[in-house]
Amino acid sequence: MPFSFDTTYKSVDSSLYSRVTPKRIANPKVLLLNDRLCADLGLDTAELNANVLAGQNLLEEPIAQAYAGHQYGSFTVLGDGRAMILGEHVHDGNRYDIQLKGSGRTPYSRRGDGNATVSSMLREFLYSHAMQNLNIKTSRSLAVVETDEAVRRRRTEPGAILVRVMNSHIRYGTFQYVAGQGPDELQRFTDYVIDRHYPQLNETDRTYLEFFDAVMQSSIEMVVDWLRVGFIHGVMNTDNMSVNGETFDYGPCAFMNYYDEETVFSSIDTHGRYAFGNQQRILQWNLERFAEALQPLCKQSALTHDELKGKLDEFENRFAVQYYTMMRKKLGINSDAEKELVDEFLEWLRKSNADYTNTFLELEAPGRFDDPVFATAEFERLREKLAAVGLEEEVMQDANPRYIPRNYLVEKALDEYLEAGDLSTFEELLTVLENPYTARDMGSQFQQPPRREFDAAYTTYCNT
Ligand code: AMP
Ligand code: MG
């Protein structure tokens, strides 16, 4: 038996999911298998052949989840349009959704084809791998399986299925959907989610309020981690926000190179709603929508509107505390003072437009990068000021990656696969990103930011 399934989601209200069957695939081909994840899940790689990974040998009936969400600010009823949960795998007392993405149409597909392209699934594999190794809570990718179909997008490509693993795929949007089913359904579902993700809260006497608090806290920690490494999620719709603080749905995401809070790469984000520096504000907005979805619980329990509002009012302060704690670590400051100096540094970053990742490496050990921005008197003065109170190497090392997935390198690796069937550059990138905090001999080319013109023109896409 490849997986040990115990799928508790089948016990929630039947309106919250549909039973589905993955599409037939004549010749599935495993392109990538994540050995480390197999080990973490207690899986035997010998049992994970292409048919198992592509959902062609089923252990039980898969499900697609129903959910709703605010997409770019507008409420829509949605669901897994191209994803299916094979089952919940239990290992060492932990539960994991094993989900296929790109496995065909479901009752929630609307006009979509249920498919995914191989380049977008390779891309998700790489970003989730990078985020995991950057020590950020994330969905993980067990495998990419290429299918024998041609999928038409901007270009026509082979199709693929990504096997995605998360503690659960329950999102703010799931609550928005359940809230529409009635207060009793909402209460039962909330109890289910608390048992699954926050069982310790059952011991408190304000369980629902503490649940909101815990979701808020895990989301704040997640977004502050994004800001730490320069990650832009790109599509922070409420249906892409996990209640467990796991980063997921690597669609138009990308890493920022040159520091600019307005950085946006997504082709459809024309107003910069999901820009790098807007992610805090959008998280706050999303949490307000999540709190609205929980409102009916006020009729069912001791929870009150004022209490929920009180928690939302704490957001800015709590985010700032988390953010400055993170920034101090990046600057090697071992105290909770020096806020003004951190602000001065941020002001320099905004003005100089320096490469975000390399700036911290240069502060730690000057002379690493031959970039004129680090040769200015202003940078030198700032470094001296920081050195007087911070720049402690040990503190800095765990906060500042040496390697991030540089967008132009990711694209080059994907192009080489699409054009020549060659995965070697892609695999080299995976290797470098295996230990992103550790210097490597072969590393310097991976630390190079792109040409500014490349960055300015770089575009990423949704639903590919
Ligand atoms: P996303 O913005 O990627 O989270 O996707 C938003 C919604 O569109 C989700 O409900 C997806 O399941 C659905 N979707 C995206 N691409 C497709 C596709 N090719 N076929 C069917 N549904 C899709
Ligand atoms: Mg999504």
156-191 pLDDT, tens digit per residue, is 999 999 999 999 999 999 999 999 999 999 999 999
Give per-residue burial for 204-243: e unless 16+ CB within 10 Å, then b.
Answer: eeebbbbbbbbbbebbbebbbbbbbbbbbbbbbbbbbbbb
Ligand 1 pocket: which of 65, 70, 80, 82 to mutate (most atoms within 8 A of CB): 82
Residues β-bridged to residue 138: 247
Tell me the C-alpha to C-alpha distance, in Å, between residue 428 and each of 117, 348, 403. Answer: 21, 34, 12
Atom of ligand 1 nearest to the CA of 462: 3
- Nearest by Cα to 422 from 432, 410, 414, 431: 414
Atom of ligand 1 nearest to the CA of 116: 19
Residue whose CA is closest, atom 13 of ligand 1? 81
Contact status, residue 286 vs residue 172, Cβ threshold 8 Å: yes
Read off the pLDDT of each residue in 146-153 and give the average, rounded to a whole number: 96
Least distant ligand from the CA of 110 = 1
- Ligand 2 centroid–CA 120 distance in Å is 14
- Nearest by Cα to 294 from 302, 286, 305, 283: 305
- Ligand 1 centroid–CA 87 distance in Å is 20
List the catalytic residue out of 80, 97, 225, 239. 239
Residue whose CA is closest, atom 16 of ligand 1? 463
Atom of ligand 1 nearest to the CA of 114: 20
Residue whose CA is closest, atom 5 of ligand 1? 463
Average the pLDDT over each of 64-73, 334-343, 441-450 and give the range with the smallest value. Answer: 441-450
Give the model's pLDDT for residue 250.
97
- Ligand 2 centroid–CA 376 distance in Å is 44
**In 3-state terms, what secondary structure has residue 146?**
strand
Give the model's pLDDT for residue 443.
77
3-state secondary structure 221-286: HHHHHHHHHCEECCCCCHHHCECCCCECCCCCCEECCECCCCCCCECCCCCCCCCHHHHHHHHHHH
For ligand 2, a single-atom ion, the residues with CB < 5 A are 240, 249
Q: Which is it for strands 63-71 and 74-79: parallel, antiparallel or unpaired?
A: antiparallel
113 among known catalytic residues: no
- What is the identity of the amino acid at 327? M
Give the model's pLDDT for residue 463.
86
The share of the chain scoring above pLDDT 70, in percent, equals 100
Helix and strand numbers, DSSP H then E, in the chain = 17, 10
pLDDT tens per residue across span 183-239: 999 999 999 999 999 999 999 999 999 999 999 999 999 999 999 999 999 999 999
- Mean residue pLDDT of the chain comes to 97
pLDDT tens per residue across span 33-45: 999 999 999 999 9
For the cut 90, the answer to whether the pLDDT of residue 255 exceeds it is yes
Spell out the domain ranges in the chain. 8-166, 172-324
Residues β-bridged to residue 97: 88, 166
For the cut 80, the answer to whether the pLDDT of residue 1 exceeds it is no
Contact status, residue 1 vs residue 59, Cβ threshold 8 Å: yes
Residues with CB under 6 A from ligand 1: 78-83, 109, 112-115, 235, 239-240, 249, 251, 462-463
- Ligand 1 centroid–CA 55 distance in Å is 19
Contact status, residue 23 vs residue 103, Cβ threshold 8 Å: yes
Nearest-angstrom CA–CA distance, 100 and 84 = 5
Give the model's pLDDT for residue 291.
98
Least distant ligand from the CA of 116 = 1
Residues β-bridged to residue 242: 171
Nearest-angstrom CA–CA distance, 137 and 277 = 20
